């Protein structure tokens, strides 16, 4: 069970699909069928850059991703550490150090990157993306099970009668969160 079909949720679903016979991703929003901004993802209008290592990791999880992004017109900054320069409102962003090692970076929009990942996750046979709002996730250590309350998406006809349904995983591992 994955809550949220943004970039992190899609990556989690991809990894879990190698270890579980069924992976369900719950997403509260309608997901666009093309690269499009989503009102509930405010940072999707910001500049996004896949630096070399991130690009390699994404392409290892989703083979062909980088090739498809470039074919779709995503800018690629290939092996030019001397020309990487980011500025915002007249302020140069960075450490002031000169980059010496060659690397390739990609500059997709957030909606485009998320759309490319979502297309690939939707093609995984044991992953399903379900439109549901999720609340009250609970982990039962004794049963090694996560249970959540899910609400069907509201429509004008069901808005007043929408009732939660319970969903639980067959088996789960407790998340280990640490503050450092």
Give the residue-averaged pLDDT of 37-62: 87
Q: Does residue 121 share a domain with residue 103? A: no
Q: Are residues 118 and 32 in the same domain?
A: yes
Model's pTM, two decimal places? 0.74
Closest residue by Cα to residue 111 from 59, 69, 172? 69
Burial (CB < 10 A; 0-12, 13-18, 19+), residue 56, is: middle
Answer yes or no: do 31 and 115 share one domain: yes
Rounded CA gap, 14 and 124, in Å?
8
Q: Give 11 or 47, the one with higher predicted confidence.
A: 11
Strand locations in 22-144 (E) = 23-27, 76-78, 86-88, 91-93, 104-106, 127-131, 133-140
Q: Is residue 18 located within the same domain as residue 63?
A: no
Helix, strand, coil share of the chain (percent; to 5): 25, 25, 50
Q: What is the pLDDT of residue 70?
A: 95
Verify that 26 and 56 share a domain, yes or no.
Answer: no
Q: Which domain holds residue 12?
A: 1-38+111-180
As for how many domains the chain has, the answer is 2
As a whole number of angstroms, the longest Cα–Cα distance in the chain is 62
Asked if residue 102 and residue 115 are part of one domain, the reply reads: no
Where is mean pLDDT largest: 97-106, 111-120, 165-174?
111-120
Supply the pLDDT for residue 47. 78
């Amino acid at each position: 069970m994955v809550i949220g079909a943004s970039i992190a949720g899609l990556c989690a679903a991809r990894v879990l699909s190698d270890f579980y016979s069924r992976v369900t991703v719950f997403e509260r929003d309608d997901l666009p069928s093309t690269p499009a901004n989503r009102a509930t993802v405010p940072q999707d209008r910001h500049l996004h850059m896949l630096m070399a290592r991130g690009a390699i990791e994404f392409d290892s999880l989703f083979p062909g991703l980088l090739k498809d992004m470039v074919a779709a017109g995503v800018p690629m900054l290939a092996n030019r550490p001397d020309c990487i320069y980011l500025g915002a409102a007249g302020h140069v962003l960075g450490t002031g150090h000169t980059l010496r090692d060659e690397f390739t970076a990609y500059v997709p929009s957030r909606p485009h990157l998320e759309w490319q990942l979502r297309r690939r996750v939707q093609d995984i046979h044991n992953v399903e993306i379900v439109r549901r709002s999720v609340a009250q996730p609970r982990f039962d250590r004794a049963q090694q099970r996560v249970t959540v309350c899910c609400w069907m998406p509201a429509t004008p006809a069901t808005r007043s009668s929408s009732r939660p349904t319970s969903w639980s995983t067959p088996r789960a591992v407790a998340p280990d969160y640490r503050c450092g």
